[in-house]
Amino acid sequence: MYTQCPDCRTVFSLDASVLAHARGAVICGNCETLFDALDTLADQLPPEPFRQLPGTTRSEEAPKLDVAIYRPREDVPVAAVEPAPAAPAFTPRFVNDRRAPRQRPRRWPWLLTCTLLALLLAAQVAWAKRDVLIANPSIGAWLRQACASLGCRLPLVRDVHRLHLVARDVQAHPSVPGALMISATVRNDAPFAQPYPVVSLTLSDADGHRVAMRRLHPSEYLDDDAVLRAGLAPGASAALLIEVADPGNRAVAFEFGFE
């Protein structure tokens, strides 16, 4: 005969002697639950897989037993019958599967992958915002210090608002007739190196009307590639010499601009 714990659904095998001795009350060997074995008592197990044994319906009236298979004689003493040893508990396959320890999935590969993806995303954002980071006083100083230790080189950041014209002068070209020699000294007041700017030169007459204008790229007024690549160091000044055609006596004023 078989019975099932109502709490953990474990199925046990038991015989009549155990059932009679306990009067139906048994304790589950798996979860220590006290339950009535008569509620799910069954002669045979249903085919697997199954979850629950069918319950036993109890009657209010005691059933009458009509079929007798043995009646001892009155003059023969009845020998004391020792209870048969309890049959070993039978556990279905689905219970063994449920009780088997589950192997926890490994989480470190996912954590490592997520960390690498987060670092890659942060590197992409930092590269997209590199000009802002380098121009920042605190972050830029840390980046320049780290780059100097690693032997790398930060890209040059352009901020023409921190370029100031210190001195300027215009005079006739000493060796080319009909040309002017314009000199200017520019200082980089930014805490980081800047590329040499695009210089716009405007010549005006006495009434303030524009007579001539020219935009010069750094390669047009500097012929040293190493100086161009290094840029204008923080706090450094550079002298710019520009040769332009003389527009005549109408040009009485000139103006510098940086782009």
Amino acid present at 85:
P
The CATH number of 160-258 is which of 2.160.20, 3.30.70, 1.20.120, 2.60.40? 2.60.40
Q: What's the pTM value of the predicted model, to 2 decimals?
A: 0.44
Please report the pLDDT score of residue 189 as a whole number: 93
Reported as a single tens digit per residue, the pLDDT across 68-91 is 565 667 655 555 556 555 555 555
Taking CB atoms within 8 Å and a gap of at least 24, the contacts of 177-183 are: 178/245, 178/246, 179/243, 179/244, 179/245, 179/246, 180/243, 180/244, 180/245, 180/246, 181/241, 181/242, 181/243, 182/241, 182/242, 182/243, 182/244, 182/254, 183/239, 183/240, 183/241, 183/242
Residue boundaries of the structural domains of the chain: 1-59+83-101, 108-150, 160-258
Of the pLDDT bands very low, low, confident and very high (cuts 50, 70, 90), residue 236 is very high
CA-based nearest residue to 167, from 188, 184, 187, 189: 184
Mean pLDDT of the region 169-197: 87
Residues 189-227 have pLDDT tens digits of 988 888 999 988 888 887 878 888 888 888 888 888 888
Mean per-residue pLDDT, 135-155: 75
H helices then E strands: how many in the chain?
Answer: 7, 10
**95/247: higher pLDDT:** 247
Q: What percent of the chain has pLDDT over 70?
A: 81
